[in-house]
Structure 1
Amino acid sequence: MTNLPIHPNPLVVSNEFSLRQHNTFGIAAIASHFAEVHSLADLQSVRQHPQLMSMPRLILGGGSNLVLADRLDLLVLHMCLKGKQIVGSDADTVYVQAAAGESWHELVLWTLAQGIGGLENMALIPGTVGAAPVQNIGAYGLELKDVFHHLDAFDWDSGELVTLDKAACQFAYRDSIFKQAFKGRLTILQVTLALPRSWQPRLGYADVQRFLDQSGITTPAAQDICNAVIAIRQSKLPDPAQIGNAGSFFKNPVVSAAQRTSLLAQFPELVSYALDDGRYKLAAGWLIEKAGWKGRHLGRAGVYEKQALVLVNRGQATGADIRALATAIEQDVRALFQVSLEAEPVFAGTPQGM
């Protein structure tokens, strides 16, 4: 924990603060109270302040996995802790540590610049390092849990620092203990990753292999895979700076083998992937497109025309607009496939939110 940033300046709390620039949907939400967190001392000062501690809290990273209400009567703490470094190595592993406020994508690029592979399949995932374990982020055959070693967090109940290893985090598909038993109790301060010295490419996804083949790359390096992933994601996902969105909006639903067989009888083109436990993961984007939502809109919110898994702000959309669209999609998919979709983003500042 000696590597945590030291920020001696007192915590500054702003009132009636606009979060438009702090969420990738571009929702014009107003937070009743807002503060930037640059150090452990900032969190400790909040805990020592009875009025601030009495308020509900929202821990904010890059705002890339949030749907905000128009108004949030709570304390928004924007995690701005910075710093990344190699903290050790052994015969098989290089250990990299990054503070919660670091950009995840910038961390991926930084590790590659140090000659360390292992994160390239998760290039261009938006958000911060501190948010990555909460969601157990993943893409193109790699999840955070595959490269995770431990993290350090602040316990709001005790005021103490705690360290959690991989088992303690209880990682699952887009899930962790931070969304379950420890929701609201722990705030992640820094993450330590275990990256392989003996790097091997992960080429399980056809899109990545196709890009490499088209580029004439037969023996890819980690940077080649990173370039492929970036190009693929940019071709499918809109830039939040241009079109407000939160990336993939729904989790891929998991069904039993029997349910998949039944669906295949009705929809032979069903896109699914076998899991180790005998169940199957269905492609949520395919389900949404088949239900007729790709490129459609509902008021000021819509479904991206190039990728049905992405909901977008068509201009001045509110959190309620996004929720209404998501609900309509869920209802149509359930009616057609008898499959329930689950949103990835957190709905904050609403009765159904945090």
Structure 2
Amino acid sequence: MIRNNVRLDRFNTFGLPATAERYLPLLHPDQLTGPEFQRAPDLVLGGGSNLLLMEKVPGLTVHVLMSGIEWSDGKGRFRVAAGTDWNQFVRYTLEIGFPGLENLILIPGTIGASPVQNIGAYGAEVSEFITAVHAWEYGSGPVVLSPDDCRFGYRDSRFKHEPDRFLITAVDFDLSERRPLKMEYGAITGELARQGITDPTPADVANAVTNIRRSKLPDWFFLGNSGSFFKNPVVDRGVYDRLLDEFPDLPSYPIDDQSVKLPAGWLIDRAGLRGSGTSRVGSYEKQALVLVNRGGARGSDVLSFSRNVQRTVREKFGVELEPEVRQVPAQVAAQLSL
């Protein structure tokens, strides 16, 4: 049943004040045959962990609340409903003996958002494990998309570029293949060494990642945030070599012979912005990449501060930071950014 003027404050991890003009909880796939889904709603809401909401969200907001994990073959293949909590699923797979997702533990959000963003952390991406995405194609009906159909990229997918075409209802994962542990990121090896672990298990890696994230990232329940606000920028070798000459301690992660990924948090920190901001919004003092609602912030406050971060990094390094969060409604955010 559609309700009018529903507050979304508690449905976004930034804790920003926002009101949906019309709001519909999606509890079962049968609802998708209704007239509301002949066209795309104005906002599809999951866990609200990757959103920057302005105060008024016009049109229809659909809140995906379908949940559940199907594990029927006993071989590490799962079908998970879109509204299921991501971290709940990761912990469940580790508990029953199917590792693979340990590097992605403690990422906020829901299953349905994971392929949209192609979530990733510490050298792993969710697209490595997805075998199919089940979706509703507006005006048409149910479809099943292969990984190739999804066009996964770095924090990117087809769903980002065609936001008004599909609503994800479930995702299939295959964790049957035993893979080497991913510990290339120094923070993981450092945390394992601190614990005296020399022969780590997937659970050890999961615990290490959990400790790292909790030491660097604020709990959104107490300090509103959306996790990493910006993507790590990818630059060509020429830009990287120029920056390395000027900043010899610049961390980097080679993509290929032509491209290098730079840590956005380091750039923001080195630009002198870590911990900066106002009484309402700013950069988190323990991790510059995280923008936080210090209390009473509005979407426009966060947007204004994020634009200042982009401008400062551009002027110092000549590198453009791209937001990872989705700004809603986009047209209002665009006007406020001018």
TM-score by length of 2: 0.95
Partner of 1:220: 200
Partner of 1:319: 299
Name segments (4+ residues, structure 1) moved above 6 Å: none
| C-alpha contact 2:233 2:262 (8 A) present in aligned 1 | yes
Partner of 1:143: 125
Q: 1:71 aligns with which of 56, 78, 82?
A: 56
In the TM superposition, what is the alpha-carbon distance from 1:213 to its structure 2 partner?
1.4
In the TM superposition, what is the alpha-carbon distance from 1:270 to its structure 2 partner?
1.4
In the TM superposition, what is the alpha-carbon distance from 1:220 to its structure 2 partner?
1.3
In the TM superposition, what is the alpha-carbon distance from 1:349 to its structure 2 partner?
1.9
Distance in 2 (alpha carbons) for counterparts of 1:229 and 1:211: 8
Distance in 2 (alpha carbons) for counterparts of 1:226 and 1:99: 23
Q: 1:42 aligns with which of 31, 40, 57?
A: 31
**Could you say what secondary structure the match of 2:91 adopts?**
helix
In the TM superposition, what is the alpha-carbon distance from 1:200 to its structure 2 partner?
2.6
Kindly provide the amino acid, as one letter, of the partner of residue 100 in structure 2.
G
1:88 aligned to 2:73? yes
Partner of 2:7: 18
1:195-206 alignment to 2 at 5 Å? Answer: 195-206=175-186
| C-alpha contact 1:299 1:321 (8 A) present in aligned 2 | no
How high is the sequence identity, in percent, across the aligned residues?
Answer: 41
| C-alpha contact 1:346 1:353 (8 A) present in aligned 2 | no
Kindly provide the amino acid, as one letter, of the partner of residue 61 in structure 1.
G
Distance in 1 (alpha carbons) for counterparts of 2:126 and 2:257: 20
Partner of 1:168: 149
Partner of 1:211: 191
| C-alpha contact 2:37 2:138 (8 A) present in aligned 1 | no
1:196-345 alignment to 2 at 5 Å? Answer: 196-298=176-278, 300-345=280-325
Distance in 1 (alpha carbons) for counterparts of 2:144 and 2:299: 35
Q: 2:89 aligns with which of 83, 88, 107?
A: 107
Distance in 2 (alpha carbons) for counterparts of 1:37 and 1:223: 34
Distance in 2 (alpha carbons) for counterparts of 1:32 and 1:47: 15
Partner of 1:349: 329
Q: Which runs of 5+ in 2 are unaligned?
A: none
Taking only aligned residues, the RMSD between alpha carbons, in angstroms, comes to 1.6
Distance in 2 (alpha carbons) for counterparts of 1:86 and 1:47: 31
TM-score by length of 1: 0.91
Q: Which runs of 5+ in 1 are unaligned?
A: 1-11
Distance in 2 (alpha carbons) for counterparts of 1:350 and 1:170: 23
Distance in 1 (alpha carbons) for counterparts of 2:212 and 2:70: 29
**Alignment CA distance shift 1:327-1:222 (3 Å):** same
